[in-house]
Amino acid sequence: MGTSHSFLRYRIEDLAFIIAGFVLTSLPIETASWLSGSIWRFFGPRVGRRHARALANLAKAYPDKSESERAAIARNMWGNLGQTFAESFHLAELAASHRVELISPDVPAAIHSGKGYVICAPHQANWEIAVLALAARAKIKPAGVYQRIKNPLVDARVRKMRAFLYPGGLYPKNSRTARQLIRHAREGGVIAMLADQRDFRGLRVPFFGHLAPSTPFPAMVARTYDLKLYAGEIIRRPHVRFTIRLNEIKIPKTEDREADIFSATASLQSEFERTIREHPEQWMWSHRRWG
């Protein structure tokens, strides 16, 4: 009974995804982004647990803000997520447009060095845009890692939509993927990944004044193979435009490798915190970030 109910739910969700995609793809990108953002901004606060979690995280990160201020950030967060959802159906159009400005003057030098490097970003603004901008401007072939969506039908559709952004391969998050990404970087490729989610087996480093379990993988790869590590800053601008900046995270190289990885991981999360504080409504506060 449970299996049949799950299958039916998956089919209904998949059908809803297809219909949403048809509607949003048929609209101009700015109209689709505005419409989806407005719908999500209205309904998001009515999604019980996820909205409650977002408010709890905001209270943890911003204890000095009033409840109304935190509620406004949460509403606008839902709006940003709705815009991102709509824009995911227009990724090819975004790739061919001039809506994304990349401000990272030292990146070409890193690319032409022939060595691989690691780019990490938070779930900020439209987080697919950073890879899109780099691939279009620098002709790199990034490999990425993604968290599977529970619904396998929707997961397959989303993966297909995103795959062209990762010519080096788009892999599900698991232990085998780590080895594939390391091999890609050692051969001069680029690893592109989101690194702001909770990692129970990760390192507990400061994030908004509280220890948060964070993935050490980016710092470990960069430290072990002498690669550059960048934190992506993605800022949404009006009219579906974005500014991307890559900020290098310096990696200590001492005799204590574990301490170096811990320090670089803390620096990466600190950089994420800095840019999130500047645009809190553009980050996904509904994550279980602190465990």
Q: Could you read off the pLDDT of 4-14 as tens digits, one per residue?
A: 778 899 999 99
Collapse the DSSP code of 174 into the 3-class scheme (helix H, G, I; strand E, B; otherwise coil) and give the result. coil
| Cβ burial, residue 216 (10 Å; 0-12/13-18/19+) | buried
Count of beta carbons in the 10 Å neighbourhood of residue 269: 24
pLDDT value at 68 more than 90: yes
CA atoms within 13 A on the CB side of 249: 31
Q: Tell me, what's the pLDDT at 139?
A: 61
Q: 3-class DSSP state for residue 244?
A: strand
pLDDT in tens, 208-261: 999 999 999 999 999 999 999 999 999 999 999 999 998 999 999 999 999 999
Angle among Cα 140, 116, 232 to the nearest 5 degrees reads 70
So what's the pLDDT on residue 2? 54
pLDDT (tens digit per residue) in 200-209: 999 999 999 9
Other Cβ atoms less than 10 A from the Cβ of 10: the count is 16
Q: What is the pLDDT of residue 166?
A: 87
For residue 94, the Cα-to-chain-centroid distance in whole angstroms is 17
